[in-house]
Structure 1
Amino acid sequence: MMFKKPLISALAAAALVVLAGTAQAQTVRIGNQGDALSMDPHSLNESLQLAVTGNIYEGLTGRDSNLKLVPLLASAWKQTSPTVWRFDLRQGVTFHDGTPFTADDVVFSLARAAGEGSDMRSYTNDITAVRKIGTHTVEIETKTPFPLLPGNMARVYIMSKKWSEENQAAVPVDRRKGVENAASFRANGTGPFRLRERQPNVKTSFVRNGNYWGKIEGNVVNVEYTPIGNDSTRVAALVSGQVDVIEPVPLQDVARIDSSGKAKVLQGPELRTIFLGMDQKRDELQFSSVKGKNPFKDKRVRQAFYQAIDINGIQRTVMRGAARPTALMVGPGINGYDAALDKRLPYDVDAAKKLLADAGYPNGFEVGMNCPNDRYVNDGNICQAVAANLSRIGVKVNLQVETKGTYFPKILRRDTSFYLLGWTPSTYDSHDALNSLTRCVDDKGAGQFNLGAYCNPKLDELILKIQAETDQAKRDGMIKEAFKLHSDDIGHLPLHQQALAWGVASNVSVAQLADNYMFFRYMSVK
């Protein structure tokens, strides 16, 4: 069982950072089960992609190795009115091509992130204006008071206006349409590492930015990032010394790596919640044997699915204990999490069958399910277990398991009836999950990852109040009420918080953060 230390202490320590080695040029080779789908920092709001591109690009704010909010491209910020934030920008910063960083780049990047094709609009959906006040000063105005805005800016990376326009990349790459541009394969940020070579799904190489404005804590100069989808191949590459870091470690191989004498496994809790979503919008459910209506619009059907899933069995057999079953869309370590609400409905096949029968499906029905096999820990196996569980109540799941390169564009188009997704609130606050996953979908970015289009107007009202409330006690009460509404609706089917497991060569040190971001700046080779 991997959850032996409290999450708060894990967050405070922000995992393991071993002493840095010598300052000489060093190379770290990383093997991950998947690849970043693009170098465009606004094209996909996925933590793996943002973690990779976050070594090249930076936001106005960021997180340090303790997950504390810190200044990056903004040196300071303050509220000048209840709905206006002023950011003083860092001076003397240049992009990798030598172009000076100015307020024009911030205005451009926030407009790009909020525009058509961007997958980052859930961070900008409540911004009404971004104004250049001076060469190194901007103001951001929001619809209502928004105390969390500085935290949101940590994931909206800043691009060079000049470079983007010169390279016909002024508009983000749209993963839903398969559109590519220069920003897909090239990059020009301000971050501690530069992109040297990009070979999608083969290898991506990075080199330390010798002109970086800040301090780089580790001694690594070169990073080679290689996707290795096969679990056994990935572990063999680490143990044989072909790579220095792998993520994730297959749960069955933890002991093998730890006993190899060549590498160790870094383990800890992760802030990501894995859950299932259902199409609750269409009048006729796609990919289903049910014609003329949508069974997922009936709460009894959603609850039947929930109670048919043996989450403890999945924890025990699929996750080998390395998961924490949950009833909520956020877990411990996220502001607003309430353990009193985190009580799952009981696993009860008979009760699930009765719910289905009461809803008019005594013999169950067929439904398609979409799932990645290279994004989350044991994601494909989780979906297979869910399908087997649902078969016990007469539901035949036609499971489609595929690489995230085709999976994400499909579900982001909402071309799905039933799907698996994971979410780490980037602000480490419940509002992020509520706004992105449970809010009624609009064309500005609210509910952008609410892919089944669940909608409760009363919940939306609460989310807007949570966003503006500064009294912590009142805010916590609103968050509790919001999650209770969502749970009572069976808006989604929460499964668990997965655990982190990175394999690291004995001569390499890294910082393992609870959001699973892997930053090269903290890596050292002894």
Structure 2
Amino acid sequence: MRVPARLLPLTAVTAASALLTGCFSSAGSDEAAADGKRIRVAHMQPPRSGLSPLSDDAFKLSRWSTAETLVKLDKEGDAQPALAAKWQQAGRTWTFEIRDGVTFHDGTKLDADAVVRSLTKAATASPKPRILDGVELTAKAEDADTVTVTTGTEDPLVPQRLSSPQLAILAAKAYKGKTVNPVGAGTGPFELVKVNGTSSAALDRYDAYWGGKAKAPGIDVTFVPDGTARAAALRTGEADIVEAIPVSQAAVLDQDLITEVPMPRTNTLYLNTEKGAFKDASLRAAAREAIDAESLVEGVYEGRADVAEGLLGPALPWAAGLRTPVKHTKAGKPNGKTITIGTFTDRAELPEVAAALQQQLQKAGFKVKLDVREYANIESDALAGKFDAFILSRATVLDSGDPVAYLYSDFASDGSFNLSQLADPSVDAELKKAGETQAGDARRKAVIKAEAAVLAQDAAVPMLHERVIQGDAAGVVDAAHDPRERELVTADTYVK
């Protein structure tokens, strides 16, 4: 049972405050700090890969407006110019004209060679950034300002792919070592100047930014995995912008300081189709039927979420109108089968979801063990298929603004994030068809057919669609509230 947040014992509040003591002192240059207020940001997850853009850390670089891509997406998910001024397609080849007048934070000039270097590094990385799952991509400099990008098969989504923060364009200095180091190597309005391991980072305004001078002198970031501590940072004025406030804390904060947005993020139970109890499709069906998602929404999320109808939620409003009933395998009897469910502590609600699912599945006849750790300590085991089931809060259009990349990554036979260990020809065929369909209504229909193929296998049970709760202190102006989690502090963001 949850202890109401307003009744948290004094020891809990003291512990949260201790986590923040000194965290948000200015970490940037004295010169930058002298010009207005620096923005203090409390982030949920610390860097996993030293802020390499080839990992999920890329989204931090994007949210701090330090690393940029050739293309950006508008609110509808359509491709718009960024470091590329324009582009055109000819079969498998796309030609991009590089924006003039852009410099990296080390003073070097953005040109075609720099673009080719970054894209080639990503395309040849092992593992590849997930936006390139199943994609053969080569980049070539045609002249100083023109780059051609060629794919193995005709790909209608190349511009959307190139908007992924994992395909950010960095200066040559970023690639000198064994890992990609983004410090001082971006093109955005803020320069990353200091990284203190997994505890903090600092960015200063880059006054030569091609898009105009940022309104804030810099950003001081602290990584605060503890949700109570992040909420305390907003309540006590220790932070200006707080990422991912837990549902349990939202009700006791000043409601004028929090923003709640439906996210393209689905809380999903992935079932291991390769081995263990859930290799049996009838037991996967039994698990699906045992789950009461509505009680999770009301009990764990206090109504601040939406019951899932499919893998794609209300943040993609077209999905519900295209969806038709899915034919499932008949549920079998668990007969006391033992299963282990894994999840992680970084998102405060997930351990509670795990505990609730344990009760629901045990009621249905399973014996259920839980394995709950920090994400950094459990991801490799999850990807290796060491659990019978895994609970994940999964962004469904994080990379390209198009759900095909997520569906391929998570459910294709060769997908890089295939927690279900699914290898099904019918699913692969529908995913391939969706990936080859031109953007628009036809593609959306193909996406829903691919979703139906996955759901028919019960490889994943979508439970609920989350809403992000972001905290902005009273003096914060124009912080981004981005459902795709790509933007947070922009050139227009400042603190009064």
Alignment TM class, shorter chain as reference = 0.7 to 0.9
Match of 1:288 in 2: none
5 Å-filtered alignment, 1:116-265, equals 116-123=125-132, 125-155=134-164, 156-160=166-170, 162-165=172-175, 167-169=176-178, 181=179, 183=181, 186=183, 188-215=185-212, 219-258=215-254, 264-265=257-258
SS, match of residue 257 in structure 1: coil
SS, match of residue 130 in structure 1: strand
Match of 1:470 in 2: 438
Cα offset, 1:400, TM superposition: 1.7
Once residues 73 and 201 of structure 1 are traced to their aligned partners in structure 2, the CA distance between those partners, rounded to angstroms, is 29
Once residues 69 and 519 of structure 1 are traced to their aligned partners in structure 2, the CA distance between those partners, rounded to angstroms, is 19
Once residues 344 and 478 of structure 1 are traced to their aligned partners in structure 2, the CA distance between those partners, rounded to angstroms, is 15
SS, match of residue 221 in structure 2: strand
Match of 1:274 in 2: 267
Match of 2:40 in 1: 29
Match of 1:434 in 2: 407
5 Å-filtered alignment, 1:298-317, equals 298-317=280-299
Bigger drift between 312-321 and 462-471 goes to 462-471
Once residues 186 and 141 of structure 1 are traced to their aligned partners in structure 2, the CA distance between those partners, rounded to angstroms, is 29
Cα offset, 1:508, TM superposition: 0.6
SS, match of residue 129 in structure 1: strand
Structure 1 residues 236 and 333: CA distance shift in structure 2, 3 A? closer
Once residues 353 and 105 of structure 2 are traced to their aligned partners in structure 1, the CA distance between those partners, rounded to angstroms, is 42
Percent identity of equivalent pairs: 24
- Relative to the length of structure 1, the TM-score reads 0.80
Match of 1:448 in 2: 416
- Render the CA deviation track for 1:375-421: whole Å, top value 9, x for unaligned: x4612211222122112123233212122222334334444432122
Correspondence for 1:511 among 480, 487, 490 = 480
- Within the alignment, does 1:111 sit opposite 2:104 as a pair? no
SS, match of residue 220 in structure 1: coil
- Within the alignment, does 1:355 sit opposite 2:331 as a pair? yes
- Within the alignment, does 1:520 sit opposite 2:492 as a pair? no
CA RMSD of aligned residues (A): 2.8
SS, match of residue 435 in structure 1: helix
- Render the CA deviation track for 1:114-148: whole Å, top value 9, x for unaligned: 22434514326323432221112111112322111
Bigger drift between 501-510 and 55-64 goes to 55-64
Bigger drift between 26-35 and 502-511 goes to 26-35
Bigger drift between 335-344 and 267-276 goes to 335-344
Cα offset, 1:190, TM superposition: 1.3
5 Å-filtered alignment, 1:387-426, equals 387-421=358-392, 422-425=394-397, 426=399
- Relative to the length of structure 2, the TM-score reads 0.84
Cα offset, 1:451, TM superposition: 2.3
Once residues 161 and 51 of structure 1 are traced to their aligned partners in structure 2, the CA distance between those partners, rounded to angstroms, is 16
Corresponding letter in the other structure for 2:172: K
Gaps of 5+ in 1: 1-22, 170-180, 286-293, 347-351, 442-446
Cα offset, 1:112, TM superposition: 1.7
- Within the alignment, does 1:95 sit opposite 2:95 as a pair? no
SS, match of residue 220 in structure 2: strand
- Within the alignment, does 1:487 sit opposite 2:483 as a pair? no
SS, match of residue 459 in structure 1: helix
Number of corresponding residues: 458
Corresponding letter in the other structure for 1:201: T
Once residues 198 and 353 of structure 2 are traced to their aligned partners in structure 1, the CA distance between those partners, rounded to angstroms, is 24
Structure 1 residues 28 and 343: CA distance shift in structure 2, 3 A? farther
Once residues 86 and 329 of structure 1 are traced to their aligned partners in structure 2, the CA distance between those partners, rounded to angstroms, is 34
- Say if 1:36 and 1:48, in contact at 8 Å, map to a contact too: no
Match of 1:62 in 2: 72
Once residues 245 and 298 of structure 1 are traced to their aligned partners in structure 2, the CA distance between those partners, rounded to angstroms, is 46
Once residues 190 and 439 of structure 2 are traced to their aligned partners in structure 1, the CA distance between those partners, rounded to angstroms, is 40
Once residues 46 and 273 of structure 1 are traced to their aligned partners in structure 2, the CA distance between those partners, rounded to angstroms, is 20
Cα offset, 1:427, TM superposition: 2.5
Match of 2:340 in 1: 368
Structure 1 residues 83 and 338: CA distance shift in structure 2, 3 A? farther
Once residues 49 and 65 of structure 2 are traced to their aligned partners in structure 1, the CA distance between those partners, rounded to angstroms, is 14
Structure 1 residues 64 and 427: CA distance shift in structure 2, 3 A? same
- Render the CA deviation track for 1:170-203: whole Å, top value 9, x for unaligned: xxxxxxxxxxx462x8451112211122113321
Structure 1 residues 335 and 319: CA distance shift in structure 2, 3 A? closer
Gaps of 5+ in 2: 1-33
Structure 1 residues 480 and 230: CA distance shift in structure 2, 3 A? closer
Bigger drift between 423-432 and 146-155 goes to 423-432
5 Å-filtered alignment, 1:279-358, equals 279-281=272-274, 285=275, 294-334=276-316, 337-339=319-321, 341=323, 355-357=331-333
Corresponding letter in the other structure for 2:42: G
- Say if 1:127 and 1:140, in contact at 8 Å, map to a contact too: no
Cα offset, 1:213, TM superposition: 1.1
Once residues 440 and 59 of structure 2 are traced to their aligned partners in structure 1, the CA distance between those partners, rounded to angstroms, is 31
